[in-house]
Copies of this chain bind each other. A is one copy, B any other.
């Protein structure tokens, strides 16, 4: 199976498959006589594993860890769970961050009449003429 079919079957683009191989996330693929990468069932399962992990937001580094555990039949599930929990905390932090932005911004939006007149609480808040918008002081990333 060539890289294009593997890409279609796994949902990982050919570009990314090559990249994953380049950074050592995937082993070197076998090659045909003419240098085409060749993929089999086992490779497909690995590619799908990676795609599902990406769908859950795991970084490629974390996926390297997951792949290692997956391939180690003696892994303690404790380790998998720990890795997943760390990622869960990451997701929680991101969610909080986005939710705060959303709260602050949707408040501002609801205060802006949005017509032809120039006065605008959104711009006022951004320029610091701020009454109390929920925008704290420093503290961004």
A interface with B by C-beta (< 8 Å)? 11, 45, 48-49, 51-57, 66, 69-70, 72-78, 80-82, 84-85, 87-88, 91-92, 94-95, 98-99, 101-102, 104-106, 108-109, 112-120, 122-123, 125-128, 135, 137-140
Contact = CB atoms under 8 A, between A and B. Distances in A.
A101 to B, nearest CB: 4
| 4 shortest interchain CB distances as A-B pairs | A81-B114, A77-B120, A11-B138, A57-B101
Given A77-B122, A95-B95, 16 more contacts: A11-B138, A48-B128, A49-B126, A52-B126, A56-B104, A57-B101, A57-B105, A66-B126, A75-B120, A77-B112, A77-B116, A80-B123, A81-B120, A81-B122, A88-B109, A92-B102
A127 B85 contact: no
Given A70-B127, A77-B119, A120-B75, A102 B112 contact: no
Contacts of A74: 118
Given A45-B127, A55-B140, A120-B81, A98 B95 contact: yes
